Amino acid sequence: MREINLSDLDDLALGAAILGTGGGGDPYIGKLVARAAIEEFGPVRLLSLDEVPDGAQVVACGAMGAPTILIEKLPGGDEMDLAFAAWEAHTGRRIEAVIPFEAGGVNSTVPLAVAARRGLPVIDADGMGRAFPQLEMETFNVYGVPACPTAIADEKGNVAIVETAAAAQSEWIARGLTIRMGGQAYVANYGMTGETARRVSVPGTLSLTIGIGRTLREAKARKRPPVEALIEFFAGTHYGLARRIGAGKVADVSRREVNGWSVGTVRIEPLAGGAPIEIQIQNENLVAEQGGEVLAVVPDLISILDLDTAEAIPTERLRYGQRVDILAVRVPEIMRTPEALKVFGPAAFGLPHAYRPLEAAA
C-alpha cells in the first residue's frame, strides 16, 4: 500500500492525458478537484488489486459528459458524494473501496476526490485501461459485472438511480440523464467485491499513469527526448510496447458533435514526407491509417503528442499547423480477448477494421 498525495497530482494529470488518447476530459480540471479534496482531507491510500480484501464492497466511479462542457461547468467536488450516498442507500451496502471506471482524462483524478472526502482507499486499477467514450466499454462489463445500479448526480443536487439489464442500456439512459443534467454528471456503478475486482480489472493503471507523468517530467529535467523516454518506460510495464507511428504537422481537423460526442478525423502530413496519416475520432482516437495501411487501431492507444514536450493534445485542442508525434501503445491482454474486443474493439465503434495488435502492425 502506498499513498497518493499532492506531489503526485501533476504527474497523474500528465499521464492521464496520454491514456486519454484524445478524450476523457481535461485532466487539469480533475487535478484541481483532487487537490482541493486532498488538501482538506489528506492523502488517499492506494491499494493494489492484491491488497483489496476479497469481500470488500468496491464501486467504480467517474465523470460522464462532453469534455468541452466540463471546462465550462467545473465540478464543485461533492457531486460524487451524492452519487455514492444514493448508491449506498439504494443497495443498503456500504462502499469500502473506489475504483476508477476509466484511466485517462479527468477520470484518473475524479475518483481521488471522493476517496479523500470519504476516507476510502482507491484501487490501483480501472475498467478501461485508457479512456473510452461509453460506460459499457469496461472490462468489468466484459467479464460479467452488471453496470447497475448506476447512480448519477449533478452539481445542483439532482440524483438518479438507473437499473437496466444490459450495460449498454445503462449507458444510453445515463447519457440522456447527463444531457438533462447540463452535459456533465458524476457516476457510481459496477458494484462488485474485491475478489471480483481482481478478476475483471486492468491492473496497475493509476501507478502507470503517475509513471507516465514522472517519465515526462524527468525527461524534461534531463533534456532527454521525451517520446523516447516514454517508449522506454512503457516497455518496462505490463502494457509492454509503445511505438511512435508517425510525426508530422496537423493539416486538417474535421470534427462535429454527434449524440454528445466529438466525431471526426484529423489528417497529419508527415514531416518526412509520404502519404498523410489519418486518425478517426469518437472523443478518443480510434484508428490511425497511412496510405490504406492500419498503423494502430482501438483498443490499442493512439495519442497525439506535442512534438517538443510529448504532452498529449486532446481532441478539442487539435489545431491546424500543430507539430506532433503520434504514439501508439499496446493494451494488456485482458483488453484484447475476443470478449473484450466485442465490447470495445473496432466493430463496437462501427469501424470496418479487424483488430490488428500493435506488435503485428507494420
Least spacing, CB of residue 275 vs its own copies, in Å: 42
- Cβ contacts of 163 within 8 Å, gap of 6 or more: 148, 149, 150
Residue among 44 and 148 whose Cβ is closer to its own copies: 148
Shortest spacing between CB 259 and its own copies, in angstroms: 11
Question: Cell triple for residue 251?
Answer: 493539416
Euclidean distance between CA atoms 327 and 222, whole angstroms:
21
235: left (phi over 0), alpha (psi -120 to 50) or beta: alpha
Distance between CA atoms of residues 186 and 298, nearest Å: 25
Closest approach, Cβ 72 to its own copies, in A, equals 19
Closest separation between CB of residue 177 and its own copies, Å?
Answer: 6
- Least Å distance, CB 174 to its own copies, is 9
165-192 b/e (C-beta count within 10 Å ≥ 16 → b):
eebbebbbbbbebbbebebbbbbbbbbb
Residues 149-188 that bind its own copies (CB under 8 A): 156-165, 169, 172-173, 175-177, 179-181
Taking CB under 8 A as the rule, which mask of x and - marks residues 300-329 in contact with its own copies?
Answer: ------------------------------
Task: Record the cell numbers describing residue 289, joined without a space.
Answer: 491509417
- Which cell numbers in the block locate residue 304? 497525439
Residues within window 217-246 making contact with its own copies, judged by CB under 8 A: none
Cell of 84: 455514492
Q: Give the nearer residue to its own copies in terms of CB position, either 155 or 278.
A: 155
The answer to whether 166 and 239 have CB atoms below 8 angstroms apart is no
Q: How far is the CB of 317 from its own copies (least distance, A)?
A: 29
Cβ closer to its own copies: 73 or 175?
Answer: 175
Could you tell me which stretch among 39-47, 85-93, 292-300, 329-337 binds its own copies (CB under 8 A)?
85-93
Residue 346 to residue 167: CA distance in whole angstroms: 18
162 vs 227 by CB, closer to its own copies: 162
CB of 146 to its own copies, least distance (A): 13
What is the DSSP code (8-state) at residue 312? B
Nearest to 209 by CA among 295, 150, 129: 129
Residue 24 burial (C-beta neighbours within 10 Å; 0-12, 13-18, 19+): buried
Nearer to its own copies, 86 or 288 (CB): 86
Nearest approach, Cβ of 172 to its own copies (angstroms)? Answer: 6
Q: Which is nearer to its own copies, 71 or 85 (CB)?
A: 85
8 closest CA partner among 204, 207, 210 = 210
Q: How far is the CB of 186 from its own copies (least distance, A)?
A: 14
Stretch that binds its own copies, among 16-24, 54-62, 82-90, 101-109 (CB under 8 A): 82-90
Instruction: Name the residue nearer to its own copies (CB basis): 91 or 309.
Output: 91
> Which lies closer to its own copies via its Cβ, residue 259 or residue 265?
259
* Count of residues engaged in binding its own copies, rule: CB under 8 A: 22
Handedness of CA 66, 72, 78, 79 (dihedral sign): negative
What cell does 88 get? Answer: 449506498
Report how far residue 62's alpha carbon sits from residue 88's, in angstroms, rounded to the nearest whole number: 16
| Amino acid present at 213 | G
Instruction: Rank residues 154 and 300 by Cβ distance to its own copies and give the closer one.
Output: 154
Question: Does 59 engage in binding with its own copies (CB under 8 A)?
Answer: no
* Residue ranges binding its own copies (CB under 8 A): 86, 89-90, 156-165, 169, 172-173, 175-177, 179-181
